[in-house]
């Protein structure tokens, strides 16, 4: 093998002009391939890691209450945050995601912007800090000023929007928006900073302190919006951790434990909501026996309030009688009092001796969510049916956990279902940016496919040159082949000489192509492009082209090229090896 290698190197140096021209063509193809792949990877990195991850994190826990896509709220921060932290390892940042579309009025100018909240109380990683500094360059002011309490609702605007609204630092802005519960609101903001961002899509965002925005939107201190989770090594861990978190978020039954007051008599009761979809109705009709009912009310109407037989007998309460339910709240250290009217008395074998109130899930959640009852760990006397109970599957849960999705198309279908089905409970969805932004990954794949196709066409032309060069080389060295075969070199060694010669030419040319590619990318990143109002600005970082070469991608591409060259060289090399020594020695040009 050592002799074969020496001969191959010698032959490369003998035909310098021909090999230089062929090697330059291969190097050019490699350079184009590396630059193009690095550019497409750069686009994906910008979209995924500099835009989408800032909007939705690597993993997002999304909430929607009562089927409202814009009613993004979970009522119990103390319950959801520990579940997330205990089931997602390697969290870099865990932050709330709140953004509201609003009409902003400046000095004789108005525009539509997205008001986004930033939690400055959270400690962020150095990597995140660098990404933010790269994306947002402060021209005036400081991000830290958003947390100032001596300024009325401080905000930061992009340079382009500040110019359009004709405002400058310390000016007052007025906004109109719809709050969390669908009410039209207005507010005054103080412009305390102006930021430069070359990305046209990010120029429409106005930043404020998260606490101030939540207060404007109607959130209480113990309520939370969508949770964005940034993790270590998302490519490897995001989907796996999202699946684990999804399993941990399986909800328990929702219930309210309190005192039922009727004409001075009192009983401890457990109230449940029951579902009224078609499948649940079949179960209810099978296992609930209505003993008496108000003729005006159906048991599945939204006004339905059903008491079990045992409770009715203890209190002497009948259909049509009013009563009060009083229970302690989890937050605010207060009690909630709700008035109801009995619309039916029922019997269920599994609940025969319990004090149970059943109401329609919509009516139940209207009470349950705004006035959360005490945590189940603080209640020991409430009746909670086990999973074998005949009614277990029709009782309302703390929230509705949506199925996981694998791509953007499935996610869009799920979002439509939320609106169409009009869930009465809060829906909880766990998703990753790789699923939410699968179309972005498709874009990268398309760009890579186009690049590889174009380069393979180029290499096809180059490989024709390899074949012709080998044929000429073999023809010129026919007598040499005869000589080395006559002195004992085996056929396979002759074949390997020509294959290795082509392989080495392609290898060194590829190394040169990689060097040229990095030099080209370095030169291109020096160039500055001013595209403030052009959608193509999304391809830039701070006005410069962005490339993200990966050594795995480069090595795979080079490996493919070397394999193609070796296979292409194999057939003429084999033909040369099959020449008989006597025939080769008699050859004359």
| Radius of gyration over every alpha carbon of the chain, rounded to an integer in angstroms | 35
pLDDT confidence of residue 424: 82
Asked if the structure places residue 206 within a domain, the reply is yes
Query: Looking at the predicted structure, is the pLDDT value of residue 359 above 90?
Result: yes
Asked if the structure places residue 91 within a domain, the reply is no
Highest mean pLDDT among 151-155, 201-205, 297-301, 527-531: 151-155
Residues 260 and 373 in one domain: yes
pLDDT confidence of residue 6: 63
Query: Of 194, 213, 232, which one is at a domain's C-terminal end?
Result: 213
Residues 580 and 452 in one domain: yes
Asked if the structure places residue 575 within a domain, the reply is yes
Measure the CA–CA gap between 272 and 294, rounded to whole angstroms. Answer: 20
Query: Looking at the predicted structure, is the pLDDT value of residue 441 above 80?
Result: no
Query: Looking at the predicted structure, is the pLDDT value of residue 420 above 80?
Result: no
Asked if the structure places residue 224 within a domain, the reply is no
Asked if the structure places residue 290 within a domain, the reply is yes
Main-chain dihedrals φ then ψ at residue 555, nearest 5 degrees: -65, -35
pLDDT confidence of residue 83: 94
Query: Looking at the predicted structure, is the pLDDT value of residue 125 above 50?
Result: yes
CA pseudo-torsion sign 261, 265, 266, 271: negative
Residues 270 and 318 in one domain: yes
Assign 291 a pLDDT band (cuts: 50, 70, 90): confident
Query: Looking at the predicted structure, is the pLDDT value of residue 220 above 50?
Result: yes
Highest mean pLDDT among 148-157, 402-411, 419-428: 148-157
Residues 178 and 266 in one domain: no
pLDDT confidence of residue 34: 87
pLDDT confidence of residue 260: 95
Query: Looking at the predicted structure, is the pLDDT value of residue 9 above 60?
Result: no
The mean-pLDDT minimum among 35-44, 360-369, 418-427, 434-443 falls in 434-443
pLDDT confidence of residue 434: 77
Which is more confident, 493 or 341?
Answer: 341
pLDDT confidence of residue 372: 94
For range 481-487, the mean pLDDT = 57
Which is more confident, 473 or 62?
Answer: 62
Contacts of 340 (CB under 8 A, 6+ apart): 305, 322, 323, 324, 325, 357, 359
Query: Looking at the predicted structure, is the pLDDT value of residue 188 above 70?
Result: yes
The mean-pLDDT minimum among 60-69, 184-193, 330-339, 397-406 falls in 60-69
Query: In the chain, pLDDT over 90 holds for what percent of residues?
Result: 36
Asked if the structure places residue 150 within a domain, the reply is yes
Contacts of 295 (CB under 8 A, 6+ apart): none
For range 372-391, the mean pLDDT = 87
Residues 579 and 442 in one domain: yes
pLDDT confidence of residue 303: 85
Count how many residues are written for the chain. Answer: 589
Cα–Cα distances in Å, from 490 out to 4, 428, 478, 533?
Answer: 11, 71, 15, 68
Structural domain of residue 262, as residue ranges? 256-398
**DSSP category for residue 393:** G
pLDDT confidence of residue 252: 92
Residues 260 and 392 in one domain: yes
For range 153-162, the mean pLDDT = 92
pLDDT confidence of residue 103: 95
pLDDT confidence of residue 423: 77
Residues 295 and 381 in one domain: yes
Measure the CA–CA gap between 32 and 41, rounded to whole angstroms. Answer: 14
**DSSP category for residue 250:** P
Residues 463 and 580 in one domain: yes
Measure the CA–CA gap between 319 and 317, rounded to whole angstroms. Answer: 7
Copy the structure tokens of residue 540.
């830039």
Residues 373 and 445 in one domain: no
Cα–Cα distances in Å, from 52 out to 44, 202, 440, 473, 496?
Answer: 10, 11, 10, 55, 51
Q: Where are the beta strands (DSSP E) in 348-459?
A: 356-360, 400-401, 427-432
Residues 275 and 343 in one domain: yes
Residues 501 and 568 in one domain: yes
Residues 443 and 581 in one domain: yes
CA pseudo-torsion sign 274, 280, 281, 284: negative
Query: Looking at the predicted structure, is the pLDDT value of residue 28 above 80?
Result: yes
For range 295-324, the mean pLDDT = 87
Asked if the structure places residue 25 within a domain, the reply is yes
Helix (H, G, I), strand (E, B) or coil at 276: coil
pLDDT confidence of residue 587: 47
The mean-pLDDT minimum among 345-359, 388-402, 451-465, 540-554 falls in 451-465
| Mean pLDDT computed over every residue of the chain | 82
pLDDT confidence of residue 211: 92
pLDDT confidence of residue 484: 58
Number of folded domains that form the chain? 3
For range 159-185, the mean pLDDT = 92
Query: Of 160, 189, 213, which one is at a domain's C-terminal end?
Result: 213
pLDDT tens-place string over residues 39-85: 878 877 777 666 667 667 889 999 988 876 678 999 999 999 999 99
Copy the structure tokens of residue 57.
């994190």
Name the β-bridge partners of 429. 62
Asked if the structure places residue 425 within a domain, the reply is no
């Amino acid at each position: 093998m050592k002799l074969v290698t020496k001969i191959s190197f010698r032959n490369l140096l003998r035909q310098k002009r021909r090999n230089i021209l062929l090697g330059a063509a291969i190097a050019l193809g490699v350079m184009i391939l590396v630059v193009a792949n690095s550019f497409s990877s750069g686009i994906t990195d910008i979209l995924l890691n500099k835009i989408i991850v800032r909007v939705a994190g690597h993993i997002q826990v999304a909430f929607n209450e009562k089927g409202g896509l814009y009613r993004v709220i979970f009522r119990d921060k103390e319950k959801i945050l520990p579940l997330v932290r205990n089931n997602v390892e390697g969290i870099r940042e865990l932050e709330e995601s709140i953004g509201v579309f609003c009409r902003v009025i400046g000095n004789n100018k108005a525009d539509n912007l997205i008001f986004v909240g930033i939690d400055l109380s959270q400690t962020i990683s150095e990597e995140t800090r660098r990404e933010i500094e790269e994306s947002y360059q402060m021209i005036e002011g400081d991000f830290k000023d958003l947390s100032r309490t001596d300024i009325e609702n401080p905000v930061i605007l992009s340079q382009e929007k500040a110019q359009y609204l004709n405002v400058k630092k310390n000016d007052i802005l007025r906004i109109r928006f719809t709050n969390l519960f669908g009410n039209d609101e207005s507010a005054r903001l103080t412009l305390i900073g102006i930021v430069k961002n070359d990305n046209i899509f990010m120029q429409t965002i106005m930043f404020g302190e998260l606490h101030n925005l939540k207060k404007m939107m109607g959130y209480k201190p113990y309520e939370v919006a969508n949770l964005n989770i940034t993790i270590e090594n998302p490519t490897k861990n995001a989907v796996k951790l999202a699946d684990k978190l999804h399993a941990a978020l399986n909800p328990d039954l929702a219930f309210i434990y309190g005192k039922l007051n009727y004409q001075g008599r009192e009983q401890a009761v457990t109230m449940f909501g029951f579902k009224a979809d078609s499948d649940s109705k079949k179960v209810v009709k099978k296992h609930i026996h209505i003993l008496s009912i108000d003729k005006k009310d159906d048991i599945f109407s939204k006004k339905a309030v059903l008491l079990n037989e045992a409770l009715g007998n203890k209190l002497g309460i009948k259909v049509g009688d009013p009563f009060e339910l009083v229970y302690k709240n989890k937050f605010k250290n207060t009690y909630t009092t709700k008035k109801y009217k009995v619309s039916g008395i029922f019997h269920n074998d599994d609940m025969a001796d319990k004090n149970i109130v059943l109401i329609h899930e919509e009516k139940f959640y209207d009470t349950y969510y705004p006035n959360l009852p005490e945590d189940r760990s603080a209640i020991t006397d409430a009746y909670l049916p086990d999973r074998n109970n005949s009614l277990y599957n029709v009782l309302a849960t703390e929230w509705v956990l949506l199925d996981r999705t694998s791509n953007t198309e499935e996610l869009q279908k799920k979002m439509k279902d939320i609106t169409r089905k009009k869930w009465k409970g809060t829906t909880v969805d766990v998703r990753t940016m790789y699923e939410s932004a699968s179309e972005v990954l498709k874009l990268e794949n398309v760009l890579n496919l186009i690049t590889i196709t174009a380069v393979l066409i180029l290499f096809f032309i180059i490989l024709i040159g390899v074949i012709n060069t080998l044929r000429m080389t073999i023809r010129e060295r026919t007598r040499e082949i005869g000589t080395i075969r006559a002195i004992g070199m085996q056929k396979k060694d002759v074949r390997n000489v020509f294959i290795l010669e082509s392989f080495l030419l392609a290898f060194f040319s590829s190394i040169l192509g990689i060097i040229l590619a990095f030099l080209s990318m370095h030169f291109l990143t020096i160039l500055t492009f001013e595209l403030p109002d052009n959608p193509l600005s999304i391809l830039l970082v701070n006005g410069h082209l962005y490339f993200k070469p990966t050594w795995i991608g480069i090595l795979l591409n080079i490996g493919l090229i070397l394999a193609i060259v070796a296979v292409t060289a194999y057939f003429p090399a084999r033909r040369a090896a099959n020449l008989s020594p006597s025939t080769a020695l008699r050859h004359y040009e």
